[in-house]
Amino acid sequence: MNPPVTSRKLRILLAEDVNVIAMSMAHALERAGYEVRVAHDGEECLRMALDDVPDLLLLDIMMPKLDGIEVLKQLRQDERTRNLAVVVCSAKDFKTERDVAAQLGAAGYFIKSSDPDALVTKVADVFSPPAQTATASDQPGGQVWVPMLKTGRAHFKLWGTRGSTPTLGGRFQRHGGNTSCMSFHIGDDLIVFDAGSGIRDLGIEIMGSKARRIHLFITHTHWDHIQGFPFFIPAYVPGYELVIYGSKGFGKNLEDIFRGQLDRDYFPVQMEDMHGNLQFRLLPDGPVNIGDAQVTWEFAHHPLPTVGYKVKAEGRTLVWMPDDEFLQGYTGTPHELTRDHGLVRQFDKIIEFVSGADVLIHEAQYTAEEYPKKIGWGHSSVPNAAVLMKLAGIRRWIVTHHDPMHDDAFLETKLNLTRQILAEIGHPDIAVTHGYDGMTEYLTR
Ligand SMILES: [Zn+2]
Ligand SMILES: [Zn+2]
């Protein structure tokens, strides 16, 4: 969306203390044709707004020296800025802050996201409010019902759904090309699974949020599950605590592997330059409790001692198992595979682990046609993964770890084929979708 046509550029003052976020927001707005100045704390914002009143103030709430709400109060007391258009920006949707902002006459409330278009759209809306066709008093009951998303509930977001290597280009836009990463949010607790290239965008979002303690669970240390770590900003910033969990038996220990990819031969910055508080931990046999969530693990069928993770929260269960070659070597029809089939029995532990999950995020990287050439590579064929869904009683399956050779059009066909296979083995009721970068879902409805 473009700004309205005026004889001069519209001027925006952007108050944002986290530099990397300020830069990305300013860049998006400048590209859309606005003139942008940046204030880095509340006091600076107040001074800049009063000295040279902008057309719009984008005001972050959490800022050093003076928080955004206090800045807004003071601006409203000054003649020059009494009617200044202000959009309050926040990392999360806090009802109290939204209410106070509305009382102080804010023109909008923006929840920061890594999508620059969302910001540009919000700003354009402020400058060109929609034509009024009806007023609140015309509605039955005279009130406008505006439901708000309750963001404190447990939810997950996929940041990387590509397997093996990041994949760029127009043909991959819809699903995205970042490698494995998922965040799980409950209250102020942040749990992250895998550190593929998707974790870079997650890091940028974390810098604008309240999260300071991050629990990172690694399934295994193949490139596509750790390659984003050197670009994960919170690891470099003092005040962030990062607890990294991995299974034993990687050959080297987890810390050495992470340190190794930051070796001078590969990367200009070393682990010693990471000033966050980094702690490496071996997965315990029992559950890891984080706030109101509980994380457990089981070995998957994949080279290295690879694991899958199960999170329980709010009475619901989510499983993250991006790499798993279920029924390795089987290329026959899925119809006749029952729970007591000899081959199936070898995968008992995996079936039991995922059984009853409300959401199972599991791969099906190869079509039945591709699979015979890829046996032993550690990834499932679509029919074999469909058998797992059937035997484990899964109702909701999100397919991830898309093959870098599979573009959006191919994945569309592959998804329809997956649905057809599920129907043919008697389970048209299993809701299957393909994960994509940015996909967000709440565990409870
Ligand atoms: Zn992988
Ligand atoms: Zn792997």
The answer to whether residue 231 scores a pLDDT higher than 70 is: yes
The answer to whether residue 129 scores a pLDDT higher than 80 is: no
What is the number of the ligand closest to the CA of 363? 1
- 28 compared with 133, residue with greater pLDDT: 28
The answer to whether residue 180 scores a pLDDT higher than 90 is: yes
- What average pLDDT does the segment 263-271 reach? 91
Q: Of 283, 282, 284, 326, nearest to 302 (Cα)?
A: 326
Q: Any idea how long the chain is? A: 445
Distance 22 CA to ligand 1 centre (A): 33
Chain-wide mean pLDDT for the chain?
91
What is the number of the ligand closest to the CA of 194? 1
pLDDT in tens, 191-228: 999 999 999 999 999 998 888 999 999 999 999 999 99
Q: Are 81 and 75 in contact (CB under 8 A)?
A: yes
What CATH number labels 155-442?
3.60.15.10
Distance 53 CA to ligand 2 centre (A): 54
Angle value at C-alpha 325, between 156 and 422, nearest 5 degrees: 70
Distance 312 CA to ligand 2 centre (A): 24
The answer to whether residue 393 scores a pLDDT higher than 90 is: yes
Parts of the chain belonging to CATH 3.60.15.10: 155-442
Could you tell me the pLDDT band of residue 3, with boundaries at 50, 70 and 90?
low
How many other C-beta atoms are found inside a 10 Å radius of the C-beta of residue 442? 15
Distance 323 CA to ligand 1 centre (A): 5
Q: Are 320 and 264 in contact (CB under 8 A)?
A: no
Distance 381 CA to ligand 1 centre (A): 14
Angle value at C-alpha 160, between 263 and 185, nearest 5 degrees: 100
Residue 171's pLDDT is what? 97
Distance 341 CA to ligand 2 centre (A): 27
How large is the C-alpha radius of gyration of the chain? 24
Could you tell me the pLDDT band of residue 286, with boundaries at 50, 70 and 90?
very high
Could you tell me the pLDDT band of residue 134, with boundaries at 50, 70 and 90?
low
How many other C-beta atoms are found inside a 10 Å radius of the C-beta of residue 4? 10
What is the number of the ligand closest to the CA of 220? 2
Distance 361 CA to ligand 2 centre (A): 15
Long-range (24+ apart) CB contacts under 8 A made by 151-155 are 151/92, 151/93, 152/187, 153/186, 153/314, 153/442, 153/443, 153/444, 154/184, 154/185, 154/186, 154/293, 154/313, 154/314, 154/316, 154/442, 154/443, 154/444, 155/184, 155/185, 155/440, 155/441, 155/442, 155/443
Residue 20's pLDDT is what? 83
Top-ranked range on mean pLDDT: pick from 17-31, 59-73, 265-279, 420-434: 420-434
pTM of the model as a whole: 0.73
Distance 266 CA to ligand 1 centre (A): 20
**Three-state SS at 442:** strand
The label of the residue with tokens 């996929």 reads 158
Residue 138's pLDDT is what? 60
Residue 209's pLDDT is what? 86
The answer to whether residue 167 scores a pLDDT higher than 80 is: yes
Distance 251 CA to ligand 1 centre (A): 18
Residue 347's pLDDT is what? 97
pLDDT in tens, 32-91: 889 999 999 999 999 999 999 999 999 998 888 889 999 999 999 988 898 899 999 888
Could you tell me the pLDDT band of residue 141, with boundaries at 50, 70 and 90?
low
Residue 142's pLDDT is what? 66
d(CA 36, CA 92): 24
Identity of residue 364: A
CA 401 to chain CA centroid, Å, is: 15
Distance 35 CA to ligand 2 centre (A): 46
Residue 300's pLDDT is what? 97
What is the number of the ligand closest to the CA of 404? 1
- What average pLDDT does the segment 147-160 reach? 93
Could you tell me the pLDDT band of residue 395, with boundaries at 50, 70 and 90?
very high
In the CATH scheme, what is the homologous superfamily, with its name and number, of domain 11-130?
Answer: Response regulator (3.40.50.2300)
Distance 23 CA to ligand 1 centre (A): 32
